[in-house]
Copies of this chain bind each other. A is one copy, B any other.
Amino acid sequence: MPISKSKNELFSSACTADGLLSEAEVLNWVNLRMTQNKYSVQLTPLTYLKGWSIDSLTGNISHNSGKFFHVEGLDVRISTDTIQSWQQPIINQPEIGILGFVAQKFNGVLHLLVQAKMEPGNVNFIQISPTVQATKSNYTQVHGGNRPAFIEYFIEKNDGKVLVDQLQSEQGTRYLRKRNRNLIVQMPDDYVLSHSDDYKWITVGQLQKLMRFPNLVHLDCRSILGSLAYQLDFQQHPSGSALSSDEFYLKVRSSICADHADAEYDMPTVFSWLTQLKCQIEVHSNLIPLKQVIGWHLDNGVVRHESGCFFSVVGVEVQASNREVGGWCQPLIQSIDGGVIGLATQVRGGILHVLIQGRVEPCLIDILELAATVQCTPENYLDGTHSPLPAFVELFQSESRGRIRFDSVLSDEGGRFFHSMQRHLVVELNEDLYLDLPPNYCWMTLRQIQEFAQFSNMVNIELRSILSCLALVA
Interface residues of A in 352-376 (CB under 8 A from B): 365-366
Complex Cα distance, B231 from A268, in Å, reads: 9
Q: Known interface pairs A231-B260, A279-B96. Does A366 touch B267 (Cβ–Cβ under 8 Å)?
A: no
- Which listed residue, B96, B165, B166, B271, touches A454 by the CB 8 Å rule? B271
Inter-chain CA distance A366–B276, complex, in Å, is 20
Interfacial chain B residues near A271, Cβ < 8 Å: 165-166, 454
Chain A, residues 153-193, CB within 8 Å of chain B (1/0): the string is 00000000011111100000000000001000000000000
Q: Does A269 contact B (CB under 8 A)?
A: yes
A366 to B275, CA, bound (A): 17
Asked if A231 and B454 sit within 8 Å, CB to CB, the answer is no
CB-CB under 8 A from A166, the residues of chain B are 271, 275
Tell me whether A167 and B268 are in contact in the complex, defined as CB-CB below 8 angstroms, given that A231-B260, A260-B231, A455-B455 are known contacts: no
* Bound-state Cα–Cα, A162 to B181, Å: 33
Chain B hits for A96, CB < 8 A: 278-279
Q: Which of B165, B275, B279 contacts A268 (CB 8 A)?
A: B165
B167 pairs with A275, CB closer than 8 A: yes
Chain B CB within 10 Å — which of A167, A275, A456 has the most? A275
Task: Give the distance in Å from the alpha carbon of A457 to the alpha carbon of B275 in the complex.
Answer: 12
**Chain B residues closer than 8 Å to A458, beta-carbon distance:** 455
Q: Is B231 within 8 A of A272, CB to CB?
A: no
| Per-residue B-contact encoding for A430-474, CB less than 8 Å = 1, 0 else | 000000000000000000000010111110000000000000000
Q: Which residue of B lies closest to A165 (CB)?
A: B272
Known interface pairs A231-B267, A268-B165. Does A456 touch B366 (Cβ–Cβ under 8 Å)?
A: yes
CA distance A271 to B458 in the complex (A): 14
- The answer to the question of A266 belonging to the interface, with a C-beta cut-off of 8 Å to chain B, is yes
Instruction: Encode contact with B along A259-284: 1 for CB under 8 Å, 0 otherwise.
Output: 01000001111011001101100000
Docked-complex contact A165 and B456, CB < 8 angstroms: no
| Complex Cα gap A424–B96 (Å) | 36
Oligomeric state, in copies: 2
Question: How far does the alpha carbon of A266 sit from the alpha carbon of B456 in the complex, in Å?
Answer: 18
Bound complex: CA A279 to CA B457 (Å): 14
Within 8 A of B (CB), among A279-299: 279
Chain B residue, CB-CB nearest to A271: B165
| Interchain CB contact under 8 A, B167 and A279 | yes
A268, B164: Cβ atoms closer than 8 Å: yes
Quick check: B365 and A268 within 8 Å, CB to CB? no
Set of chain B residues within 8 Å of A260, measured between Cβ atoms: 231
| Chain B nearest Cβ from A99, distance in angstroms | 12
Contact B167 A278 (CB under 8 A): yes
Min CB distance A57 to B, Å, is 22
Shortest Cβ distance from A136 into B: residue: B279
A367 CB, nearest partner CB in chain B, Å: 9
A455 to B229, CA, bound (A): 16
Residues of B within 8 A of A164 (CB): 268
B365 touches A272 (CB 8 A): no
- Pairwise interchain contact A275-B165, C-beta atoms closer than 8 A: yes
A261 to B: closest C-beta gap in Å: 8
Contact A163-B457, Cβ < 8 Å, known A181-B275, A275-B181 = no
Known contacts A167-B279, A181-B279, A366-B365; A162 and B269 CB within 8 A of each other? yes
Quote the shortest CB–CB distance from A275 to chain B (angstroms): 5
Cβ–Cβ < 8 Å partners of A266 in chain B: 231
Chain B residue nearest to A452 (CB atoms) is B455
| Cα–Cα distance between A164 and B267 once the two chains are bound (Å) | 10
The chain B residue with its CB closest to the CB of A275 is: B165
What B residues does A162 contact at CB under 8 A?
A: 268-269, 272
Smallest Cβ-Cβ distance to A162: which chain B residue: B272
When distances are taken between beta carbons in the complex, the residues of chain B under 8 Å from A163 are 268
Beta-carbon contact of B366 and A165 below 8 Å: no
Is there contact, CB below 8 Å, between B268 and A366?
A: no
- What distance in Å separates the Cβ of A351 from its nearest Cβ neighbour in chain B? 18
Cα distance A268–B260 in the bound complex, in angstroms: 20
Which B residues lie within 8 Å of A272 (CB)? 162, 165
Q: 8 nearest interchain CB pairs?
A: A165-B272, A162-B272, A455-B455, A165-B275, A96-B279, A167-B275, A162-B268, A165-B271
Q: A366-B366, A452-B455, A457-B457 are in contact. List 18 more A-B contacts (CB 8 A).
A: A96-B278, A162-B268, A162-B269, A162-B272, A165-B268, A165-B271, A166-B275, A167-B279, A181-B275, A181-B279, A231-B260, A231-B266, A271-B454, A278-B456, A365-B365, A365-B366, A366-B456, A455-B455
